[in-house]
Amino acid sequence: MVKKKSKGNFLKKALYLLITAVLIYVTIFGFYPRYKKQISPLVRKVPYLDKIYKPVGTPIKARVVRVYDGDTVVVAPFEGNKRFICRLYGIDAPEVSSMSQKGQPFAVEALQELKKLVSGYTVEVTTTGDSSYNREICLITRDGLDINLEMVKRGYAWAYVKYLKKEDSGRYVDAKIAASEKKLGLWRQKDPEPPWEFRKKHEFK
């Protein structure tokens, strides 16, 4: 009788451990791929960037140390703060390719255009107080030039009307219309797809 009871307890423990292992596997490998899609590829690439305090509405002097795409850069402030990611306010540039997804036409050209405008330059960065996937929403100017608006004027970004303030929407929309009429940049395409529509289709963030 003692042996049977001992054997029964062993089987119960083994079954319990097996069920626990299966649940852990499903939780990790079943949930993670879906969750991974929700994390910006940019944030996954740059885990060392800290979430730090930056005064909202107060321009800070900084140097652009990296350009990721047509609307995202890394800036290194001259005083106090560590480097951080800036998502340019009010614009949306074509999506660049990732390891698993082909990007949009003119994504590389938009990246190169933004590089010409800011890479290595001293700029003034003004944060809006909003953030998106660990990226601060910023307005960047260089010697008085509104870089965000300039990208729209040159035809390498859309006016992101959904997130524009009323006082800014007119200028940005006018710039977008002028660029499209002149067929500048991405507007050389017959029917360019807005980046937000592209992301919706392909689960970009």
Give the catalytic positions in this structure: 87, 95, 135
DSSP the chain: -HHHHHHHHHHHHHHHHHHHHHHHHIIIIIHHHHHHHTS-HHHHH-TT-------BT--EEEEEEEEEETTEEEEEESSSSPPEEEEETTEEPPPPP-SSS---TTHHHHHHHHHHHHBT-EEEEEEEEEEETTEEEEEEEETTEEHHHHHHHTTSSEE-GGG--HHHHHHHHHHHHHHHHHT-GGGGSSSPPPHHHHHHHHT--
